[in-house]
Homo-oligomer: A and B are copies of this chain.
């Protein structure tokens, strides 16, 4: 991965394993649903089922946060919601810029899950001057040249890239230079960033190809007629 990592050995001090961090949002979502239904407590078994994970894993995950459960009873829903939110940093406000307001960028801007939990869209940016001023999700699209000032003025530390692949690296460089230290990349490219900058990527094409692999494997099991081992038309020199 092109993640500019300086990730320490995952667990240092009260550091939380990366795999656990990735599941916390899942638990949080399930807990929020319970909270809205005014459910006071929940057992690891129930919550694990709601989040789609193993209950032992869930208990171990929570044990990294501290001993927040009550034996014989379960976990206090409201208390856990707070603790996980705090651990994830969702008790503070994270201004975000979205770069590239095409179909995808507009979809992201309209995505409700954004504002719901600590994330605030500070600005929508696009290289197309014709788009400037157009309202998307209630926000005006602004020209990419305003990137540096917007990032500085709003203390933006998270950038979302929804540009074509060709523009992604340049946008990344500008974001990083302006002070952004976390990037969520939707463009199908490997981004290179300096140490200390985190990159996560979301890649539709890769996901589909992984599904196709398994799909093919399933098909190959049923009707055992895979043209296996055949020498292809193209041969190495």
Question: How many chain A residues touch B (Cβ–Cβ < 8 Å)?
Answer: 79
Residue A200 contacts which of B50, B94, B211 (CB distance < 8 angstroms)? B211
17 extra interface residue pairs, beta carbon distance < 8 Å, beyond A52-B190, A117-B209? A21-B213, A22-B210, A68-B236, A76-B236, A76-B237, A79-B232, A88-B213, A94-B215, A102-B107, A103-B103, A113-B205, A114-B208, A158-B212, A181-B218, A183-B211, A198-B214, A198-B215
**A/B interface sample: 6 pairs, CB < 8 A:** A25-B210, A82-B232, A92-B216, A184-B208, A184-B211, A198-B211
Distance to closest chain B CB from A40 (angstroms): 7
> A198-B215, A215-B89 are known contacts. Are A204 and B111 too (CB-CB below 8 A)?
yes
Contact B200 A22 (CB under 8 A): no
Q: Number of copies of this chain in the oligomer?
A: 2
Cβ-based interface call for A36 (8 A): no
Residue with the greatest number of chain B CB neighbours at <10 A, chosen from A52, A90, A211 = A211
Q: Tell me whether A46 is interfacial, beta carbon within 8 Å.
A: no
Q: Is residue A145 contacting chain B, with contact meaning CB distance below 8 A?
A: no
B202, A218: Cβ atoms under 8 Å?
Answer: no
Indicate if the CB atoms of A209 and B25 lie closer than 8 Å: yes
B204 and A108 form a contact (CB under 8 A):
yes
How far does the alpha carbon of A116 sit from the alpha carbon of B208 in the complex, in Å?
Answer: 12
- B94 near A212 (CB under 8 angstroms)? yes
Residues on B with C-beta less than 8 A from A30 are 190
Contact A79 B235 (CB under 8 A): yes
Chain B hits for A236, CB < 8 A: 68, 70, 76, 79
Knowing A76-B237, A218-B196, A236-B76, say if A205 contacts B25 (CB, 8 Å).
Answer: yes
In the complex the two chains form, what is the Cα distance from A152 to B208 in whole Å?
A: 20
Q: Is the CB of A204 within 8 A of B113?
A: yes
Whether B212 pairs with A184 at a CB distance below 8 angstroms is: no
Closest chain B residue, CB of each to CB of A113: B205
Given A29-B188, A196-B218, A236-B76, A209:B2 Cβ within 8 A = no
Which one of B88, B218, B233 contacts A209 once the chains associate, using CB atoms below 8 Å?
B88
Do the beta carbons of B237 and A211 come within 8 Å of each other?
no
- Per the bound structure, the CA–CA distance linking A25 and B206 in Å amounts to 6
